[in-house]
Amino acid sequence: MTEDRKKISSFEDLQVFQLAYKISLEIHKASLEFPQREQYGLADQIRRASKSICANLAEGFGKQNFSVKEFKRYIAIALGSSDEMRVWLRYCFDLQYIKESDWKDWRDRYQQISMMLQGLHRSWK
């Protein structure tokens, strides 16, 4: 799915940002329920990685007026964080910190976000 640049005046207009932001809030809330021993480990890692997608889109978008190449670099970093989230979510599920239904839902949504980021990277000129 590509974005029509004429309609995009802010990173908040990017559909991929909106999806990533929504899921990052869900991840944050769920991670607060992890065992105390994980609050500075796995829980902190998934909070940071999920928010990183949104932050990199915002930071890169702000720099794209100076360099499209720079924005694309930030999109690539966001893509890495999206793929990273799928690994962390597998750990969360295997360690029984999240239900299977949540794992599958979030895994699939991060796959969709990754695909959207790839499309945005290809289409942004």
Give the pLDDT confidence score for residue 106 in this predicted structure: 98
Give the pLDDT confidence score for residue 94 in this predicted structure: 97
Please give the share of the chain, as a percent, with pLDDT higher than 70: 95
Of 60 and 2, which is predicted with more confidence?
60
**Is the pLDDT assigned to residue 6 strictly greater than 70?**
no
- Spell out the residues 6+ positions from residue 11 whose beta carbon is closer than 8 angstroms to its own: 17, 57, 58, 60, 61, 62
Please indicate, yes or no, if residue 43 is contained in any of the structural domains.
Answer: yes
User: Alpha-carbon distance 2 to 94, whole Å?
Assistant: 34
Please indicate, yes or no, if residue 6 is contained in any of the structural domains.
Answer: no
User: Alpha-carbon distance 42 to 30, whole Å?
Assistant: 12
The CATH number for 18's domain is 1.20.1440.60
User: Alpha-carbon distance 70 to 64, whole Å?
Assistant: 6
> For 53-82, what is the mean pLDDT?
95
Q: What is the CA radius of gyration of the chain?
A: 15
Please indicate, yes or no, if residue 3 is contained in any of the structural domains.
Answer: no
Please indicate, yes or no, if residue 28 is contained in any of the structural domains.
Answer: yes
**Is the pLDDT assigned to residue 2 strictly greater than 90?**
no
Give the pLDDT confidence score for residue 1 in this predicted structure: 39
Cβ atoms of 57 and 64 within 8 Å: the answer is no
Give the pLDDT confidence score for residue 65 in this predicted structure: 84
Please indicate, yes or no, if residue 44 is contained in any of the structural domains.
Answer: yes
Per-chain mean pLDDT for the chain: 94
Q: Could you list the residue range(s) of the whole structural domain that residue 22 is in?
A: 13-123
Angle at 87 between CA 85 and CA 93, to 5 degrees: 100
Please indicate, yes or no, if residue 8 is contained in any of the structural domains.
Answer: no
pTM of the model: 0.91
Please indicate, yes or no, if residue 7 is contained in any of the structural domains.
Answer: no
Please give the share of the chain, as a percent, with pLDDT higher than 90: 88
The number of folded domains in the chain is: 1
Amino acid identity for residue 101 in this structure: S
Please indicate, yes or no, if residue 96 is contained in any of the structural domains.
Answer: yes
